[in-house]
Each structure stands twice: as C-alpha cells, then as structure tokens.
Structure 1
C-alpha cells in the first residue's frame, strides 16, 4: 500500500514545475521517503575540469630567468662603457698634462747650452750667521726650489718693493703647501755685513736667507748668474752711494739648475703662477733619462 501511494505521488509530482527538471524533483521525493541521504552536489567550479596551463612546465621561471640574464648583460654593458669612458678620460688628461710638462721642460732645457746652464753655477758665500753657503745648498732630495735675488740694503725703493713682492709670493705658495728656499745676495759687500743683512731682512720675510762675502766672491756669484752690478769708483769712507744692478728673481730647481726668471714687471700673482707651473713640470734628470728608455720614450724625444 505504501509503495503504491508513493509511486502515485511520484507520478503526480513528476510533472515539470516552472521549467525545472522532472527527474531531479522525482528523485528527491523518492529519496526523502526512503530516508536516503542525498549526495552533495558539486559546485560549478568543482564540476568543471581545470584547464591545463598553456605555459609549459618551467616556462615562467625560464622567462624570468632569461629576463634577469638580459638585464644583467645590459647592466654589465653599461658598466663596461662607464669604465671605458673613465679610463679614456683619465688617460687623455694624463697625456695632456704630461705633454704640457714636457713642453715646459724643453723650454727650460733650451735655455741651457750643451747641458751647462747659462745662468747659475758654483759660488761660495757666507750667511748671516757666518756659515758657508754654496751652490751645493741649492741641491736637495725634497724637490725644493730656490729663488735668488741680488740687491743691497741701502737700496731706497727697488729692492724693498721686490722683497715685499717676494714675501707675498712665499705666503701664497705656502697656502698650497709649496715652500721655496728664498735667498738674498748682496751686491754691496763693502757695507752689507752679515749683521746688517740680518737686520735688514727682518722687515720682509723670516725665511729669506741673506748672503754676503768678499768683493771677489760676490763678484764671482754675480757673474755666474749674469747679474750686472756697478759701484762708484773712488768712494770715500762713510760716503753714501747707490749700486746699479740687474733686477730679477732667479728660479732654481732642486738640482741647482736654472729654471726661469721673474722680472720686475711681473706681479706677485703672476710670479706665483709661473713658479707653480715650473714646479709641476719639474722632472729630475735621472727620471727623465729613465722615461726616455721606457715605452713612453717617444713623448720625451
């Protein structure tokens, strides 16, 4: 009896309702009457099969790897270009600077005759302390240049002006850590004793070394530096007089060789500029000879 009612009810309700599925509705009724638990229906996302990836296995990783490798290569290329530019610029700067140094050095050499300086040479004088001072005192291993001025303590205007200029040049150079050996040689040894010269130089710069000597020794030193000086003849004791002399600063390198002159018309700034350029261009003789034999020898010929 129960089975007939159930079947009848199932047939009665098996008609489609609102376009729904008859089979589904009937099955649900039958299961409810038979106390059968329905199986959970799969959702749409679970019921559909997941499509296979269109990217090959390892494809994304390979692509990223290739992209990273490409970026690395590009970065390395830019680094190489930058390094080449820096090296090229440095080499160009070095060659241009070295070329200028060689040009200045050749100009200095052109002022010398067969290796013997036209200006400068052996002399023997004494300083304000009575100690011997010769041309050998110009030679040093510190590449320290010397600058020599010839004058006299009774000079009314020219010598004081030039010694003031020398003091300005020395102070400016010291700011750039450049120190010279400044030397004052008198052209009037008859009146300029060591004590008088020491007192005279106190008004200018403390680093100036004063030199004097016998008339013959002073005359020889002036001759070595091509300095003209003249004192009046028949001068009476105690009589005042002037000494005519050349007005130049003589720049000497650390090997005791003549480099250049700085005239009266040059300002202190111009003198400093000339001294700096000569110091920057200075190459010791032994080093010049060694460079001529190196692979860069063509620059020094």
Structure 2
C-alpha cells in the first residue's frame, strides 16, 4: 500500500470525524449478528517537540489559534514539498483571513531533521511555518496522537539510505486543540484555501 492510498484511507476516516461521527459494523463474538459502533475518533492531543529555533513547544503553545498540521520529512521527494507548497500558497491566498492559522510541519525523520535542518528547509516555503522535531519517541508520540502511519523503507541497493512511507493529510486543528477539519493532501491551492476558510468562519 503506497503513501497516497494510505493518505486517502485516512482522509475518508477523518472526514467522517469532521462530520461528527464514524459508524462501524463490528461482528459480535460467538454470534451471527453485528453491533453498530459510533463515535468520534480522537485526533491530536498532547505533544512535546522542539521547533526550528531550538525552542521546546507543546500543544498548549498553540491554544487560541488554529493549527494547520502536516507530517513529513525533509528528504521526501514529492508529497511533502508539494504539500508544503500548496499549504503556503493557500495561506497567501487567504491573506489576513488566515492570521490565526499557524502552519506546522512535523518531521517523521528526527534522526536527520534537526532544528537547524528544518530551519533551512522551511525557508523555501512560508515565513510563518513552524517546523517541529524531537527524539524518536517524542515524534512517535505525536504521530500516534494524530493517527499518522509511517515506516522506514530501506533502499534495496543501499541499506544505509531509506525513505519513509507515511500517510499524508492536512489537519486543521481548532483553537481548542481539537480537530476542526481533515483535508486531503490532494487538494489544490483553491480547495485548501476554501476548506480552511469554511472551517475558521
């Protein structure tokens, strides 16, 4: 299963969450019947990471503002730079209407993506972008909180090199830190700008 497929699956699940619920039919053990289970999946939550300036930040530092969160890594060849370009262009398109939206890029490759590397990388995108990294366990905890799938894939020709398969989604988090809207990474600039505007007004 490739990253795009995984991202689309997560997008479908999270879109259900944005509408208020997900309904699943679960087989009841020992019977031929099914039980319908409904609920809102928890997305987001506590994290403690380091930004591109070396400052320790937590989810509490963003309360009172929206967060537009995207997970990836700086060596990502396609999905991540494309997603960050779309994110940046959408914020520029919204202008002052998105002043309360903080764009956040959380790396899935903390071994390579130091604060210094994130600072250099993010300069190519948007001046307001906040890059976050941390230890392997801190990044894993953040990914788990956001239900992000990722795994290292060694290069078959050179095991010392690797890529990272990961789900790709824009998470728009509300001012209260709860999920406001999951937005597929396949959205173009206009679609992303419209989705953000609808969610924050």
Which TM-score applies when normalising by structure 2?
0.76
The ranges of structure 1 where at least 4 consecutive aligned residues each deviate by more than 6 angstroms after the TM superposition are 112-116
Asked if 1:240 corresponds to 2:161, the answer is: yes
Change (3 A) 1:201 1:139: same
Greater percentage in helix: 1
Q: How many aligned positions are there?
A: 170
SS of residue paired to 1:242: strand
2:78 corresponds to: 157
Greater percentage in strand: 2
**Using the alignment, how far apart are the partners of 1:177 and 1:216 within structure 2?**
32
Cα offset for 1:138? 2.2
**Residues 210-247 of structure 1: per-residue CA shift (max 9 Å, x gap):** 00000000001000000000013699x99321101111
Cα offset for 1:130? 1.4
The question of whether the paired residues in 2 share the 8 Å contact of 1:145 and 1:254 is answered with yes
Question: Greater shift after overlay, 215-224 or 120-129?
Answer: 120-129
2:62 corresponds to: 138
Which TM-score applies when normalising by structure 1?
0.52
CA RMSD, Structure 1 to Structure 2 (Å) = 2.6
Q: Which fold has the larger relative contact order, with Cα–Cα distance below 8 Å and residues 6 or more apart in sequence?
A: 2
The question of whether the paired residues in 2 share the 8 Å contact of 1:125 and 1:211 is answered with yes
2:33 corresponds to: none
Cα offset for 1:116? 7.5
SS of residue paired to 1:243: strand
1:223 corresponds to: 144
Asked if 1:118 corresponds to 2:28, the answer is: no
Residue ranges of structure 1 left out of the alignment (5+ in a row):
1-106, 281-301
1:203 corresponds to: 124
Cα offset for 1:266? 1.2
The question of whether the paired residues in 1 share the 8 Å contact of 2:154 and 2:162 is answered with no
Change (3 A) 1:225 1:207: same
SS of residue paired to 2:153: coil
Change (3 A) 1:271 1:251: same
The question of whether the paired residues in 2 share the 8 Å contact of 1:117 and 1:258 is answered with no
Asked if 1:257 corresponds to 2:178, the answer is: yes
